[in-house]
Amino acid sequence: MSSQPSPIAAASAVSARGVRPQDARLHHRALVLSLVRRHPDSSRADLARLTGLSRVAISEVVAKLIDDGIVGEHGQNRKRGPGAPARALHIQGDARHVVTVAISSADTVEGAVFDLNGTLVSAVSEPRNGAVGKDALLALDRMLQQLLATAEAPILGIGISASGIIDTQGIVRSSSHLEWESLRLREHIEARTGLPVSVTNGVTAIGVAEVASGAAPDDLFLIRVGNGVGAVTIVNGAVVHGTNGIAGEFGHVIVDPSSDQLCQCGRRGCLEAVLAVPGLRARLAAASSADARSQVLQDAGHALGTALAPVVTALGLANVAISGPADLLDGTLLAACRSTLDARLFNVVAQGLQVRMAESDESARLRGVFAIVISKELGIA
C-alpha cells in the first residue's frame, strides 16, 4: 500500500486546483505547523525549502502563527545565510492546552491535560464504581469540570474517548459497557463547556496514538483485546470509520461456527468469545497442565489469525498490532496467530506482513484523542 502523500505534494495539489485563497491559507498554516512540530528549530528558509512555497508566503503564515502565540522563535538557526540571521521556530506548547478524558470498559474514568507539544501537564484517575447510563455521563462531566478548573492556558479543545460504536458526528450509537444508546455526547459536552469537542471510540484512539507516536507507519490494523475485542483500521494516516462508525466491530466475526462458546452478543463462535481477556484467563485457570494452557493460547491465536487473513489481504496491509495484556497475548498466542496467517495468506502478502504487540500503554487513549484534537483544530498531522 502506498504511503501518505508528502506535505509538499499535498500543497502543490491544492494550489494546482486553484482553490479559494482562504482555503490555501488554512492549508499552508496547517502544513507549516505540522512541519515545525516534526522539525523543531526550522527556519523560515527551511520551511520554504520543505514546502516549495515562497519565502514571502511562509513569512506571512509564520507571522500570523507568532501573532496567535502558537509559534515562537528563538536564537539563531544553525545555518547562517547572508543578511539577517535565521531564527529557529518552535511550537509554543503552553499557548493552548488540550483536555482529554477516557471512559472505557475498565471501571475508571481517566483524564489528562496536554500542552500543544503533547507534554503531559496533569493527569487524574477516578473510580467509575460501576456507573452506567446517566451516572456514567455525570462521572464524565465531573472529570471534565475538574480538569477545566485547573487549566492554566486557553483550551484548544476537548477530546473524549469512550467505549462503543461512535459515529463521526460524536454520537454514541451504542455502548453496551456504558449503557448509552444514541447519546449525542459531542453536542452535550460542547453545550456544557462552550469548547470544541471530539469524541472517539477507545480502540480508535489507541490506534491513532500508535501512529502519532511513530511506533506504526500510516497504514495499520490494530486489534485491542480487553473485556471485549475491537479493532481500528488506519489507511494513509486516516481512520476508516465505516457507516455510522461501525468499522472495527471485529470481535463479533464468527471464527468457529461449531463452537459452543457463547458470546455476549448472544451468538456462538465469535472471535471475542475465544479471545477476550476474562474468558481467556478463566480457560487458562481451568486448564490442568502446561500443555493444556498452551493449547488454550494456541486456539485463541489461531482464531485471531483466521479472522485477520481476509482483512490483511483485502487492504494489502503490512502492519498488524495487537494491544492488550502482554502476559496473555505475547508469546504462544502471537506465534499461533502468525503461523495461521502464514498458512492462509498468499505468499507475497505474508512476506511483507509484520504482526507485533502494540506499544500502547494505559495512557494511549488519552494521547490518541489529544492527537485527534490537534489534528482537527490546528490541522497538525
Binding site for Zn ion (CB under 5 A): 252, 263, 265, 270
- Beta strand ranges found along the chain (DSSP E): 71-74, 88-91, 97-103, 108-115, 120-127, 155-162, 165-166, 171-175, 180-184, 197-201, 220-225, 229-235, 238-239, 319-323, 354-357
Beta-strand relationship, 120-127 and 108-115: antiparallel
* Least distance from Zn ion to the Cβ atom of residue 224, Å: 15
* Least distance from Zn ion to the Cβ atom of residue 95, Å: 46
Tell me whether residue 252 or residue 376 sits nearer to Zn ion (CB atom). 252
Tell me whether residue 7 or residue 230 sits nearer to Zn ion (CB atom). 230
Tell me whether residue 263 or residue 345 sits nearer to Zn ion (CB atom). 263
Closest Cα to residue 369, out of 161, 113, 120, 154?
Answer: 161
Asked if 295 and 333 count as a contact pair (C-beta separation under 8 A), the reply is no
Tell me whether residue 184 or residue 252 sits nearer to Zn ion (CB atom). 252
* Least distance from Zn ion to the Cβ atom of residue 164, Å: 15
Tell me whether residue 112 or residue 270 sits nearer to Zn ion (CB atom). 270
* Least distance from Zn ion to the Cβ atom of residue 253, Å: 8
Q: 503531559: which residue's cell?
A: 120
Distance separating alpha carbons of residues 175 and 164, to the nearest angstrom: 4
The DSSP code sequence of 216-234 is: S-S-EEEEEESSSEEEEEE
* Least distance from Zn ion to the Cβ atom of residue 229, Å: 9
Tell me whether residue 271 or residue 378 sits nearer to Zn ion (CB atom). 271
Round to the nearest angstrom and report the end-to-end CA distance of the chain: 19
Tell me whether residue 30 or residue 263 sits nearer to Zn ion (CB atom). 263
Closest Cα to residue 367, out of 164, 224, 159, 166?
Answer: 159
* Least distance from Zn ion to the Cβ atom of residue 270, Å: 3
Asked if 245 and 168 count as a contact pair (C-beta separation under 8 A), the reply is yes
* Least distance from Zn ion to the Cβ atom of residue 177, Å: 14
